[in-house]
Amino acid sequence: MVQFEKETIAGQWQSLDIENDLLSEAARSIGAGSATDAGRFWRLPTEHPDPIVLAGGIPDDTALPTEDLIDSFSKSIRDHFSDSLMYGGWFGYEGLRQLIADRQNKIEGTNLLPDNIIMHNGSSGCLENVCKAFVGPGDIAIVESPSYSGTVRAIRGFRAEVVEVPMDKEGINPDLFKETVESLVAQGKRVKLFYTIPDYHNPMGNVTTLEIRKEILEICAEHKILIAEDAAYTELYYDSPPPPSYYALSDGHGVIKMCSFSKILATGLRAGWIQARDELAEPLTKVRFDMGTSPLVHYALADLMESGKLDSHITSMRNLYKSKCRTMVDSLKKYCNPYIELEEPEGGYFLWVKCTQTKAFDLIRAAAEEGVVFPLGSIFYVDSSLDDSHFRLAFTRAPFEHLEEASRRIGKAFEKVLDIQH
């Protein structure tokens, strides 16, 4: 008879040093952190009784099409009881993929078929799949500097070396990109991936020009560098759409486009898709072991798309975020004008603001005391010492009156740091 003692088992495990004796090398190279940050200092706590948080890239939840979602989910369970509640396969529900392919073909002039669309757990799930299929220890991944910190962390999880190349408001610098690639190749390194956010960048809010897209496509084709194009914000233009995607320009040769329902609809759906040519889609699906993502969500999304409700929601979000952006920019100009510089974005979720007279860290600390919380620009770099003057404001979630109040508080924070008395 085995003497089973729960306490003994607990004791054995409690004596283990998880950090040193259990964690994989990949996990160690990612570093600690929350689910979405870079494992670095993300935002400061505040004692303020009524803080305003402009930290995460999150849609306005008061504007979600809740009734439409309830209808679509109910209908999906009722009408597709069996299929929507079963495993859905690695690609996901074909009806949804057909709708996505048709819609993208109309927008982008592509020739996608349902099997060029692979459903995923948001754009993040797409990136993990791309890395799992194509990136390994010792490979180089180039990212824009700055870039979305979550991605940098994810690529590190595959033990690739992440190299950053500066970008300005036009996009990544193509000359520096070429130089970097050539120098890495000369060192015998394999540059596998270029991760880019060409439209309404996180954190910079800018759009990469058509010229730069073409130059980068040529360099990447010459050196066989896969472009992972993150189109999470592409549809959220305020007035006119961005230039054609890397995918459309190259007809998908050497490009994997990653799209998401998170920013155009709701982050909690955890739905996004990879757009890839057959020859790239095949290895992508072959390395998947997660049994796909939720068919119920796919059926509900298909219903929203078919009824036209998704398109009308996206149109109203473009208008809403354009007004929020305007409000934030106008109020920043009113309260902080001498202390900041910024480029007004033409779409998306973010303002990238430069402190002209203070260090961004001093500002965000004072702003937290005043009751506004937002991240420091340096967390969006691989080498955080590259920037001590920027901060990022995510203006989509907060109500209009908070945006104006946040700017007033940021203005007070600047005055505190600069010791300006009234």
Cβ atoms within 10 A of the Cβ of 289, count? 7
Q: According to CB under 6 A, which one of 122, 198, 345, 377 is a site residue for ligand PLP?
A: 122
Cβ atoms within 10 A of the Cβ of 334, count? 12
- Nearest approach, Cβ of residue 105 and ligand PLP (Å): 22
Q: With respect to ligand PLP, which residue has the nearer C-beta, 229 or 370? A: 229
Cβ atoms within 10 A of the Cβ of 307, count? 14
- Is residue 202 a contact residue for ligand PLP (CB under 6 A)? yes
- Nearest approach, Cβ of residue 372 and ligand PLP (Å): 20
- Is residue 375 a contact residue for ligand PLP (CB under 6 A)? no
Q: According to CB under 6 A, which one of 230, 235, 346, 387 is a site residue for ligand PLP?
A: 230
Query: Given the rule CB under 6 A, which of 2-10, 24-32, 119-127, 172-180 is the region that contacts ligand PLP?
Result: 119-127
- What's the angle, vertex CA 15, arms to CA 11 and CA 18, rounded to 5? 125
252, 277 contact by CB (below 8 A): yes
Residue whose C-beta lies closest to ligand PLP: 122
Q: With respect to ligand PLP, which residue has the nearer C-beta, 339 or 380? A: 380
- Is residue 232 a contact residue for ligand PLP (CB under 6 A)? yes
Q: With respect to ligand PLP, which residue has the nearer C-beta, 345 or 411? A: 345
Q: With respect to ligand PLP, which residue has the nearer C-beta, 293 or 331? A: 293
Query: Given the rule CB under 6 A, which of 155-163, 260-268, 336-344, 374-382 is the region that contacts ligand PLP?
Result: 260-268
- Is residue 267 a contact residue for ligand PLP (CB under 6 A)? yes
Return the DSSP state at 237: B
- Is residue 157 a contact residue for ligand PLP (CB under 6 A)? no
Q: With respect to ligand PLP, which residue has the nearer C-beta, 230 or 370? A: 230
Query: Given the rule CB under 6 A, which of 5-13, 93-101, 259-267, 311-319 is the region that contacts ligand PLP?
Result: 259-267
- Is residue 148 a contact residue for ligand PLP (CB under 6 A)? yes
Q: With respect to ligand PLP, which residue has the nearer C-beta, 262 or 358? A: 262
Cα–Cα distance measured from residue 313 to residue 171, given in angstroms and rounded to the nearest whole number = 29
- Nearest C-alpha neighbor of 44 from the set 375, 380, 397, 362: 375
Return the DSSP state at 180: H
- Is residue 57 a contact residue for ligand PLP (CB under 6 A)? yes
Give exposure, 379-388, as e/b (b: 16+ Cβ within 10 Å).
bbbbebeebe
- Is residue 293 a contact residue for ligand PLP (CB under 6 A)? no
Task: Judge if the upstream peptide bond of residue 203 is cis by omega within 30 degrees of 0.
Answer: yes
- Nearest approach, Cβ of residue 232 and ligand PLP (Å): 4
52, 402 contact by CB (below 8 A): yes
Structure tokens at 350: 């973010």
Cβ atoms within 10 A of the Cβ of 399, count? 12
Q: What share of the chain is helix, strand, coil (3-state, %, to 5)?
A: 50, 15, 35
DSSP string of 77-131, one letter each residue:
HHHTHHHHTS--TTT--HHHHHHHHHHHHHHH-----GGGEEEESHHHHHHHHHH
- Is residue 123 a contact residue for ligand PLP (CB under 6 A)? yes
- Is residue 206 a contact residue for ligand PLP (CB under 6 A)? no
313, 94 contact by CB (below 8 A): no
- Is residue 197 a contact residue for ligand PLP (CB under 6 A)? yes
Q: With respect to ligand PLP, which residue has the nearer C-beta, 272 or 375? A: 272
Q: Is the dihedral of CA 71, 123, 398, 171 positive or negative?
A: negative
Cα–Cα distance measured from residue 145 to residue 195, given in angstroms and rounded to the nearest whole number = 11
Structure tokens at 45: 């706590």
Query: Given the rule CB under 6 A, which of 120-128, 136-144, 154-162, 412-420 is the region that contacts ligand PLP?
Result: 120-128
Residues binding ligand PLP: number (CB under 6 A): 13
Q: Can you tell me which residue has the tokens 């849609």?
A: 59
Footprint on this chain of ligand PLP (rule: CB under 6 A): 57, 122-124, 148, 197, 202, 230, 232, 260, 262, 267, 272
